[in-house]
Structures are given as C-alpha cells and as structure tokens.
Structure 1
Amino acid sequence: MAQQASMAFALPGGEKSKPSRKRPIDLVHLTRETFGNRALEIEILSLFSRQTCGIVDRLAQANPDERVRLARSLKGSARAIGAFGVAELAEAIEQAPSDSRKVKDLRPVVDDVRDYIAAITR
C-alpha cells in the first residue's frame, strides 16, 4: 500500500512521529482516522475549530443538563481528531456539570487546539 501524504507525515520530522498526547492534537491518531487524506484532515480540523468556540461559549451559560449534552458532543469530536486534552476536560464536565471551574479550565485548552489547527492548516 502506497503511503499517502498526510498532515502527520508532510510536516518536517513527521515521518518519525509517534502518537503523542503532549501535542494539542495527536497527528498520528488523526492520520489513522482520516486514512491519510490531507484534504479530509483539513476539513475536519477546520470544522472542529469553528464549532468548539461556540460550544465553549454555550457551556458557560448552560444549565447542568445542557452542559452534559454539550460536553458529550465535544468529547466525541475531540477524541475523533486526537484532541485528547479537550476530550478529557469535556468528560470531566460531563461527569460534574455543576462545576463551573471545569468549564473555565476548558477555554485555554480549546484555544491551544484552535491555535495549533491554525498553524498546521496554513
């Protein structure tokens, strides 16, 4: 099977990339999920970036039941693209929706992911 160019492997040093939860997005995971289709990676990342901003804003204003629903949706999306830090915080909100500190902790992590997406999709 021919190796397809992808975000994880088209970046300098990417050919040696291993799965990493230290980066805002695990590019190896993303590549596996998109079967190495760079156009699909960019499309999915752009969509995630646009949607997360609105979700974080809505989480801050939502009642506990709505927070559970929003957090569950965010968790699934974040896991799908390899944004595991966002997924872990979303899961924490899902489990303790009345804890507004968790919602506040989510914003900088989402901002880091969105900045990372902007950098790798230029």
Structure 2
Amino acid sequence: MPRAARPSASSPIDLVHLATQTCGDRDLERSILAMLARQIGTAEERLRVLSLTDRVHLAHALKGTARNVGAFALADAAAELETGPSSEAALSRLIDHMNATRRFAAELA
C-alpha cells in the first residue's frame, strides 16, 4: 500500500512503516520511539546555537533518523533546513515538526 494511502501516514510517525521496520516487535518500537524523543530533544536545544555548517549536519542526521522510523513530515522539514540552513522559516517549521513528533513518540514509548 502506498505510504500516502495508509491511515497512520497522517500522524507524526507512520506506525505501519515503523512496524515494518521493526518486524512488528513492539518492545523494539517503544525503544526506538523513546530514543527518537530523546534525540529530538537534544537536537532542538542545539539547533539555534549551531553554526550553519553544523546545522546542516544535524539536519541531515535528523532527516535520516526520521525517515527510518516513519516520521516523514519531520524528515521533509529537516531536508528543507539542510538545503537552506540560514532560513528562519525552515528552522521554525522543523522545530514545529520536532515538537509534534517528540510528543507523539513520547506518548507511544
């Protein structure tokens, strides 16, 4: 089923994708979600104070992690900041997605 057709694709984390990535292992899913929430919290604290070069590196790492777990809106926002690290609008959108994804992940973990 295409990603956009999945009901969970509209949430901050596509749970069908995550379940596929973890072969349905619920304990592993909870562990991954808890790590994601922590990573997002750490990244958010650092984003505003990093140099533009370091902001690009952090956005790239966050993009990869987000795609792996199914946080596709977060990954897209990270990709936008990665290509335009000085954009305050891109930074703001990324932080909004980070907050939504962190809360969602923490609730599920």
Whether TM-score is above 0.5 comes out as yes
Greater C-alpha radius of gyration: 1
- Give the whole-Å Cα distance in 1 for the aligned partners of 2:40 and 2:88: 17
What TM-score results when the alignment is normalised by the length of structure 2?
0.88
Gap runs ≥5 in structure 2 = none
Of 78, 91, 115, 2:79 maps to 91
Which residue of structure 2 aligns with residue 10 of structure 1? none
**How big is each residue's C-alpha offset from its partner over 1:21-58, in whole Å with a ceiling of 9 and x where there is no partner?**
31110000001111111111111110010011111221
Larger RCO: 1 or 2 (CA < 8 Å, sep 6+): 2
CA RMSD of aligned residues (A): 1.6
**For residue 114 of structure 1, what is the amino acid of its counterpart?**
R
**For residue 74 of structure 1, what is the amino acid of its counterpart?**
L
Which residue of structure 2 aligns with residue 32 of structure 1? 20
Which residue of structure 2 aligns with residue 50 of structure 1? 38
Please report how far the alpha carbon of residue 118 of structure 1 lies from its aligned counterpart in structure 2 after TM superposition.
Answer: 2.4
Structure 1 contact 60–100 (Cα < 8 Å) conserved: no
What is the DSSP-based 3-state SS (H/G/I as helix, E as strand, rest coil) of the residue aligned with 2:48? helix
Which residue of structure 2 aligns with residue 4 of structure 1? none
Please report how far the alpha carbon of residue 117 of structure 1 lies from its aligned counterpart in structure 2 after TM superposition.
Answer: 1.6
More helix by share: 2
**For residue 120 of structure 1, what is the amino acid of its counterpart?**
L
- Give the whole-Å Cα distance in 2 for the aligned partners of 1:34 and 1:23: 18
**How big is each residue's C-alpha offset from its partner over 1:74-117, in whole Å with a ceiling of 9 and x where there is no partner?**
00000011011110000001101111221122222111112212
- Give the whole-Å Cα distance in 2 for the aligned partners of 1:79 and 1:21: 12
Structure 2 contact 15–70 (Cα < 8 Å) conserved: yes
| Alignment size in residue pairs | 105
Tell me: CA distance 1:68–1:41, structure 2 relative to 1, closer, same or farther (3 Å): same
